[in-house]
Amino acid sequence: MDVSKIKVIAMDLDGTLTQHKQHMSEECRQTLINLSKRYKLMMVGAGQVYRIFNQLEQFPIDIIGNYGLQYAKYNPETQDLDIIRDDTFPCDREKTEAIVTSFREKYGFTQYAGDNVEYHPSGCIIFPVLGTKAQQADKLAFDPDRSKRRKIYNEVVEAFSDYCVFVGGSSSFDMAPKPYNKFYALDLFCKENGLAHDEVLFVGDDYGQGGNDESVYLSDVPFLCIDDYREFPARITALLG
């Protein structure tokens, strides 16, 4: 990448700046403050914009949520978010339930707690292999290296052809209506703001097969890989000074 061209730093949150669903460290917060003096910062997440905003403890930053279905700008006067876009799509629940049930029966995932499928108002859906009410310890132990889900990932992608499919969390497949993924969201942001792809640096950790950062990693957008969120301050400072 040509660092001198970078104008925007777009970032994932969980695993990149923080542990999953945890607040940022003070070192990370100060790093973002320092970067904001030279670059426009924004978050690009899988979750809803307010979930991300609250996890960031209301850090002043624009947020793309739900893979681009949502977009919010930070308003310094109100110290809150102004929702610019909040798209929703219908979901064929009967069809979805049937597909998920067929995977459970084929691969022995028939014992689960809670609901078969998790539905979100946006149109995003989650196939929770252990069910929506599984114990956290069971979820963490199920597929820590994602190998179980990656074995059937291509089959799930084929079955859910109307969705972008991700190997999500510790025990699920997360899905957003096509064409919404993080690259689509970033590309739209660039078009709306007159930016070239090489003027945006994306920072993420989930860039392997089925990861929700993979679409950006495989694109022409410059990408900084973070394999341990604790490395973020040093890695980004070394790259951008």
173 and 184 share a domain? no
Q: What are the DSSP calls for 27-56, one per residue?
A: HHHHHHHHHHTTSEEEEE-SS-HHHHHHHT
- Segment 208-232, tens digit of pLDDT: 999 999 999 999 999 999 999 999 9
- Segment 21-77, tens digit of pLDDT: 899 999 999 999 999 999 999 999 999 999 999 999 999 999 999 999 999 999 999
Q: The CATH number of the domain where 105 resides is what?
A: 3.30.1240.20
Query: Which of the pair, 168 or 94, is modelled with greater confidence?
Result: 94
CB 195 within 8 A of CB 4: no
The residue segments making up the domain with residue 218 are: 3-87+180-240
User: What's the structural domain count of the chain?
Assistant: 2
98 and 132 share a domain? yes
What is the mean pLDDT of the segment spanning 117-127?
A: 97
The CA-atom distances, in angstroms, between 61 and each of 8, 49, 77, 97, 175 are 12, 11, 13, 37, 25
185 and 80 share a domain? yes
Cα distance between residue 130 and residue 210, in whole Å? 19
Bridge partners (DSSP) of residue 61 are: none
161 and 193 share a domain? no
pLDDT for position 177: 98
Q: The CATH number of the domain where 29 resides is what?
A: 3.40.50.1000
Look up residue 185 and give its amino acid: A
What is the mean pLDDT of the segment spanning 95-118?
A: 98
- Segment 171-190, tens digit of pLDDT: 999 999 999 999 999 999 99
What is the mean pLDDT of the segment spanning 109-120?
A: 97
Looking up tokens 């945890």, which residue turns up? Answer: 22
Q: Could you tell me the two tokens for 27?
A: 């070192």
pLDDT for position 36: 97
* DSSP summary character for residue 167: E
Give me the percent of the chain exceeding a pLDDT of 90: 97
136, 158, 177: which is the final residue of a domain? 177
53 and 172 share a domain? no
99 and 173 share a domain? yes
77 and 195 share a domain? yes
Q: By C-alpha distance, which of 52, 54, 48, 66 is closest to 188?
A: 66
Cα distance between residue 91 and residue 94, in whole Å? 9
159 and 112 share a domain? yes
| Position 241 pLDDT exceeds 90 | no
43 and 151 share a domain? no
- To which H or E segment does residue 174 belong? strand 172-177
